[in-house]
Amino acid sequence: MGEYWSIGPFADWLRGVDKPHSGTGDEWKKWETEAKAKHPIRYWLVEEGLDYIQSAVMWAPNKLYSLKYYVVNRWVDQSNALVAHPKHIKPGQYMDLGYRMLHCMFDELVDFVEIETAYISFRWDEDKQKGMKWWQVGRWRTRTWRSPEDGIEHLKWQISLTDEEWLDDDKKHEAKPTSQAISAQEILDLYKWWTEIRPKRPDPYDVSGWSAHCEDQRKRGIGFMETDPLEDHDKTKAMLDQHRAIEAEYDREDTEMLIRLIKIRAHLWT
């Protein structure tokens, strides 16, 4: 028997009519009418009676599962909050709201891809589940593991989806990506920007030459607040102007990406 006692071989035997795995609304209505007419008592026993029995038998396990879900939501997943990765904001460290917004939201996107989306890619794959602990799969998993590879694999599968199956044979060459495919591509692009592209951005202090300038002053024994008699003020100003321009461009890019993330928030669910 499956998770619901009214579904599975035993339920089909007791009902006297096999339950379809899928169907349209009209098909389900037709099956229900025919199943009731054929064996009305047996139909009630399975579709309603087994539900009452299962509810009674599973009362205690369901309460424990609800408690587990609360504990995981409260202290593990912290699903009531947006939480930054410790490498960006250490626990107990204060950061301004503007900084927290960017890092918390994108770190949560990383968790969405590497934990939630990754789980979908192998929840039905027995080979991938081999070697996993009882708390990593199934009803009692705590979602404390992550797999970037599985998350990306599932996103790439979503990206490959098209509307081909809804088109006539002579129109299949006109197939276009589904809305799910388009949103999956955006999720993957933002994920890669945060995890691969953004971390490689050059330091504005290094690019502008300010780091080398300060190191040179340090070697010559000139303190931060002291005047350098050899300083070229025009050159110094140019370095600082370049530094500010680079920081402004980085800030513009961060804002653009954050807006893109907000625009796809409706697709961030599993």
Structural domain boundaries in the chain: 58-197, 201-262
Pick the residue with more confidence: 51 or 65?
51
Q: How far is CA 200 from the centre of its chain?
A: 23
Residue 10, pLDDT score: 93
pTM of the model: 0.78
pLDDT at 141 over 80: no
Both tokens of residue 127?
């080979």
Give kind and range of the element (H or E) at residue 244: helix 233-263
Residue 2, pLDDT score: 45
Question: Which residue blocks in 59-178 are alpha helix, DSSP H?
Answer: 59-71, 97-111, 118-122, 126-129, 148-159
Both tokens of residue 187?
């999720």
Residue 1, pLDDT score: 38
CA dist 118 and 73 (Å) reads 18
CA dist 269 and 113 (Å) reads 10
Mean pLDDT calculated for residue range 56-73: 88
Give me the DSSP letters along 215-241: HHHHHTT--TTS--TT--HHHHHHHHH
Mean pLDDT (the chain, rounded) = 89
